[in-house]
Homo-oligomer: A and B are copies of this chain.
Amino acid sequence: MNDVQVPGFLAAAGSAGLNKKREKDLGIIFSRVPATVAGVFTRNLIKAAPVLLDMERIHSGRCQAIVANSGNANACTGDQGMKAAKAVARATADALQIDESLVMVASTGVIGKVLETRGIEAALGGIVRKLDPSGLPDVSHAIMTTDKVPKIVSRKGSISGKEFTVTAMTKGAGMIRPDMATMLCFVCTDIAAPRDILQESLTKAVNKSFNIITIDGDTSTNDTVLLLANGLSGITLNSTESLEAFQDLLDALLIELARMIVRDGEGATKLININVEGGATTSDAFAVAATVADSTLVKTAIYGEDANWGRILAAAGRAGVPLSPAAIDIYFDDICMAKSGQGMGATAEAAVTEVLKKDEFTITIDLNAGKKKARVITCDLSLDYVRINADYRT
């Protein structure tokens, strides 16, 4: 896994005894030099203590280390939760011998349980001693909750003949929907950029990736995306060309991670692209896509590989946007299943049933009301989703 290394970044993970189901539940990402930082956080009004702390600290624009744990979200824990988040940051700063204000904190797991910091404080020394350029994959393991697979991707680009690297990791699985998800995402890069430009770039990439996916329509208290840019490549994003080259690479990486989150959605057996075309406005198109993507009736029908296009139309009809039922066409991949609001019959249905057997396909809903488009990526709702979420804390 040396291919995910980013110059100047070290990482390691270990166990703080917080996550019974995982060998590793605590990780540190460290940059040899303080990095410029950008962040995107949950819009849920209930924000976990680490989110509140990071939102404060990000104003400085500087960060040198991220400490992240799974097994406990440290959310809905009030003053005690904030004390715990600060204690974790302080202990991490002490172990790394850096200023406390340069440490950001992230937590994921059960909500409402006060975070026990003793295990974390005891584990930090060992983790810091293990810090290594090849350690990023270990951190991607340590932040997993109901995730079945770790999610880390890396790409290299070049600007004016100089090479740069972006490596990003994420965790997701449940509580995922547009406007951020129960997800953490850490992006490490060796480019340099002014803080505002970095923030704008990250926001754009998040809007094209994590903000268009949904697992179950629930948003989390802990969503955090942090981007650290340490500048060690010697490249500064100071031209349109360099900015575009970086943006393209960042977009592609985060879209890839977002798709990995959906594919690893709790109990998911299929990834479905919901494309809405022909909208009068982009927000109309997005509202229809998001409503269809979150419909439990649509998601269970897809799990059952049932070409129940009527449920798609019914979900569109309650999206709160004006639409003309008799104008709507529905496609499964290239197969037209409904034209002008009516089914295309048994032959089309037989072809769609074959599409439904695939583990990824696209449902296109053409509203025929304009030229605007939107996409939401979702998954099916399976028996395992219910099993996982009925038993989550046991």
Q: Find out whether the CB atom of B76 lies under 8 angstroms from the CB atom of A341.
A: yes
Contact with B along A289-326 (1 / 0, CB 8 A): 00000111100110110101111011111100011011
Q: Find out whether the CB atom of A111 lies under 8 angstroms from the CB atom of B44.
A: no
Check A110/B310 contact, CB under 8 A, given A45-B325, A221-B317.
yes
Q: Which B residues are CB-close (under 8 A) to A80?
A: 342
Complex interface: stretch among A57-65, A274-282, A384-392: A384-392
Nearest CB on B from A325, distance (A): 5
Complex interface: stretch among A20-28, A85-93, A211-219: A211-219
Q: Which B residues are CB-close (under 8 A) to A217?
A: 294-296
Q: Which B residues are CB-close (under 8 A) to A112?
A: 308-310, 313, 338, 342-343
Interface residues of A (CB under 8 A from B): 43-47, 73, 75-78, 80, 110-114, 174-175, 179, 216-221, 294-297, 300-301, 303-304, 306, 308-311, 313-318, 322-323, 325-326, 338, 340-343, 381-383, 385-387, 389-394
Q: Which 3 A-B pairs have the closest CB atoms?
A: A111-B310, A304-B390, A46-B317
List 20 other contacts, CB 8 Å, given A78-B342, A304-B389: A44-B314, A44-B317, A44-B318, A45-B318, A75-B314, A76-B338, A76-B342, A78-B340, A111-B308, A112-B308, A112-B338, A174-B297, A218-B297, A218-B311, A300-B385, A300-B389, A301-B392, A308-B393, A381-B386, A385-B386
